[in-house]
Structure 1
Amino acid sequence: MLGRLAQQLAQTEAEADHLRRRVRDAEARLAATLEREGAAKRNVAVADGAVQRAMEDAREQADELRAACEREVLAQLEAAERRAAAIVAQAEQQAARQWPASDARAPGAAPTAAGPVPSLDAVATDGLVAGPAPGAGHRPSGSAGPSSVPTPSVGSITPRAEPQGDATA
């Protein structure tokens, strides 16, 4: 019986050694798993930080781009306003040359024998003054007399007579 007990003891010790090895293997696997989990958490934290920095950079770039676009649009608007003011000033100068102050009329008044009221249509959009349209009734610059092409007034236009009756009779 003592032999059997010794054999059981040896078998129990072998099983205990086997279980200890399994526990050590399980502990090693657990430690490796915990290490991987910690590394994964650190990687996630690093990636999250990188994403946050990238988002902040993108916001800053968008703000800078928006501000640059606003500055460009304002600069273009100011340039357009300056061009428009130059065109108006040039039109006023041309009108002053063509219609001196002694030929003063109310703005928008009907044309006189001196010629029609000037319009901005006579000014080209690039700032250069366009000449009078052929047959438009403008008097040449520096001319003292009326235009060579008469400008009818509203009262001088008469309607065409309608034919009456049979023309063969």
Structure 2
Amino acid sequence: MKKYVFASLLAATAMLAACDSGPFASTDAMRQHAAQSLAQKNFGAAASQAEKLSAKAPDDYEAFYLLAQAQAQLGNKNAALAALESAIKKGYKDEQAIAANDNLQSLRNMSAYAELMDSAFPRRVQAGTAETPAAASDAVGITETAGKTVIRAGDVVVEMPKTN
């Protein structure tokens, strides 16, 4: 009887260990595997794992962010940009992390990347022209001076010249 119990426990342990790979892998295990592959510069494996993760968890912005990084490192700029756009649309909001991520360096000279970043993250606007982002804040207000009116709402700042 003890042999059967031991054999059953051994089989159950083997089956549980197998759940961290293959079609029954948990999303956490898949995410961890993709991140480890990225860190080890195994970009093909990272892309494959992130692709599977994004199919299994289509609302997981981290899956698409991992996929964007792997695709960018593989030289697949359009696929990387599409994955980055999906990550942002699904909730990835860390503009500074995107800007500082070395894996995404190859995308930064693309006009489509600039357009994506400009549309996804509020920028300082002065009389209809885009400038560098204002310091992040939750402040909302209107300030009037002799020459202009400044309207602030979070990170968005609009300066309008006064007309008399």
Smaller-chain TM-score bracket: under 0.3
Structure number with greater Rg is 1
TM-score by length of 2: 0.28
Bigger helix fraction: 1
